[in-house]
Amino acid sequence: MTRLIVAMVMAFAAQAASAQCSLDIEVGDTLKFSESELSVSSDCESVTLNLTHTGGMPKNTMGHNWVLAATGDVNALANAGLAAGLDANYVPAGDARVLAATDIIGGGESASVTFSLENMTPGGDYTFFCSFPGHWAVMKGAFKIV
């Protein structure tokens, strides 16, 4: 009996953890993410972020991406992304400050990124933002590992 209860609790825990390891967020033709805060469980072996652009404007004028970094790195990283340009999705290649990033997408498109939490600290101060020029100052939110 005890064994059965333990198995049930473990199955429930695994289900709860997997639910928190996949995140969906939407953007449109404005400088706004559908969520101002995202949180994941520190138990997640990996996290998948799905970004959907529900607007109609092309990526060269209203492109968006989802970039994750330590909050203290966001300003410098956004400036480095600006220099990298659209072909590089406004993300500097091989930059260790980038914890995760999707491609830049336009209206009607979607993109996903799967990343590990192993280089991140539960309770740490992380921010997700869009690195399209001019967007990151307002288009960002808190990313929490709980």
Binding site for Zn ion (CB under 5 A): 64, 130, 132, 135, 139
Closest approach, Cβ 89 to Zn ion, in A, equals: 11
State which residue, 113 or 139, has the beta carbon closest to Zn ion: 139
State which residue, 120 or 130, has the beta carbon closest to Zn ion: 130
The position carrying tokens 């993410």 is: 33
CA distance 139 to 146: 23
Q: Residue 113 forms beta bridges with which residues? A: 49
State which residue, 14 or 86, has the beta carbon closest to Zn ion: 86
Max Cα distance, the chain (Å): 62
Closest approach, Cβ 64 to Zn ion, in A, equals: 4
Alpha carbon 13 to chain centroid, angstroms: 24
> Dihedrals φ, ψ of 124, to 5°?
-70, 170
- Residue with smallest beta-carbon separation from Zn ion: 130
State which residue, 38 or 117, has the beta carbon closest to Zn ion: 38
- Pick from 43, 93, 40, 56: nearest CA to 131: 93
Closest approach, Cβ 120 to Zn ion, in A, equals: 23
Closest approach, Cβ 132 to Zn ion, in A, equals: 4
CA distance 99 to 104: 16
